[in-house]
Amino acid sequence: MRWLGIMVLVLALPGVALAGATSAFASRTDAPAEVHAWVLSAPPRGSKQAQTAVFAPIARFLASVSGHPVRYQYPGSWLNYSREMTLGKYDLVFDGPHFTGWRDHHLGYIPLVRFPAPLIFALVERAGEHFERIHQLIGRPVCANSPPYLGTLILLHKFPNPVEQPALVIIHGWLVAYRDLMAHQCAAAVLPVPNLRKLEHGVHTAHIMYRFRPYPNQAISASPHIPQAVQARMRQALLSPAGRAVTRTLRAIFVSKPFVAANRADYKGLSDLLNNTLYFGYD
């Protein structure tokens, strides 16, 4: 009975319990909904600190252009990056042409801008050793970066039968591939053509046995959830002097000239390079 009396007394006091509850409820319902920030991401090619220093300024720049919050998210690992990217968890992405083409084909992402120079890879052998045909490398050791590295996928795309492929010797970096090739650790190596000439230091110790067709360079692409008008503003901003300034560090890493406008047709069909790789679908 004592507790009942206390409850009656509290409820009878004007402006105490009910008013407080009503005020709390009102504060929850009247508060504006939190705006969901668009997420910018890229493959984990460096530490979280290093990549945040590169991409966070770009995210802030795109936020100021679009009027919508944009934040950079470090993916942590290639496995996590592949999973999150294929699920459409990233709204803005900077990565290679095969990923750009895959998102365009499967998720409807739009390439906004790209690096201007084409990507040209080659199969390289030691000078004086001449394979007449690329298929002579079946079962032979070839130095290459781990998939989904573009050059490696381009090579494997030439060998659709998984039991009739070169034996990949996984390396980390072009310099290691070149050194291992010269040390007879592999019969050939996959290298970007411009990097080969730099690695040789003017001495032609290697020979290009097969040059693959050029591919469009890395790009920034946008989710279809971002309105087309906003995508257009982002593209123009990234091509502007302010955009060139904010992407200077990123371009310096890849030794690239300023971005140019990207064309969806350039990336058409490149998603096929990712067939039979984890998270991207199997034939």
The residue type found at 194 is P
Enclosing domain of residue 45 = 38-117+216-274
pLDDT tier at 202 (50, 70, 90 boundaries)?
Answer: low
pLDDT over threshold 70, residue 40: yes
Please check whether residue 224 is in contact with residue 109, taking contact to mean a CB–CB distance below 8 angstroms: yes
How many domains does the chain fold into?
A: 2
pLDDT recorded at residue 162 = 87
pLDDT over threshold 50, residue 42: yes
pLDDT recorded at residue 192 = 94
Dihedral sign (CA 80, 86, 87, 90): positive
pLDDT recorded at residue 130 = 78
pLDDT recorded at residue 195 = 86
User: 123 forms bridges with which residues in the sheet?
Assistant: 190, 210
pLDDT tens per residue across span 213-270: 999 999 999 999 999 999 999 999 999 999 999 999 999 999 999 999 999 999 999 9
Please check whether residue 211 is in contact with residue 120, taking contact to mean a CB–CB distance below 8 angstroms: yes
Token pair of 13, please? 């006091």
Same domain, 201 and 222: no
Residues 45 and 48: their CA atoms lie apart, in Å, by 9
Please check whether residue 165 is in contact with residue 135, taking contact to mean a CB–CB distance below 8 angstroms: no
Residues in the chain: 283
pLDDT recorded at residue 132 = 82
pLDDT tens per residue across span 132-189: 889 999 999 999 999 999 999 999 999 999 899 999 999 999 899 999 999 999 999 9
Q: Is residue 171 part of a domain?
A: yes
pLDDT recorded at residue 128 = 83
User: How many other C-beta atoms lie within 10 A of the C-beta of residue 79?
Assistant: 12
For residue 272, the 8-state DSSP code is G
pLDDT recorded at residue 281 = 62
Residue predicted with more confidence, 283 or 52: 52
Q: Is residue 189 part of a domain?
A: yes
pLDDT recorded at residue 172 = 92
Weakest mean pLDDT among 28-32, 125-129, 241-245, 252-256: 28-32
Q: CATH number of the domain at 134, please.
A: 3.40.190.10
Please check whether residue 82 is in contact with residue 206, taking contact to mean a CB–CB distance below 8 angstroms: no
Same domain, 223 and 106: yes
In the sheet that holds 121-126, the strands lie side by side as 167-171, 141-145, 188-192, 121-126, 206-211
Average pLDDT, the chain: 87
Cα distances (Å, whole numbers) of residue 60 to 112, 231, 239: 17, 15, 16
- The angle, 0 to 180 degrees and rounded to 10, between the axes of the packed helices 228-239 and 48-66 is 120
pLDDT recorded at residue 26 = 40
Same domain, 111 and 223: yes
Residues 271 and 103: their CA atoms lie apart, in Å, by 8
Same domain, 58 and 177: no
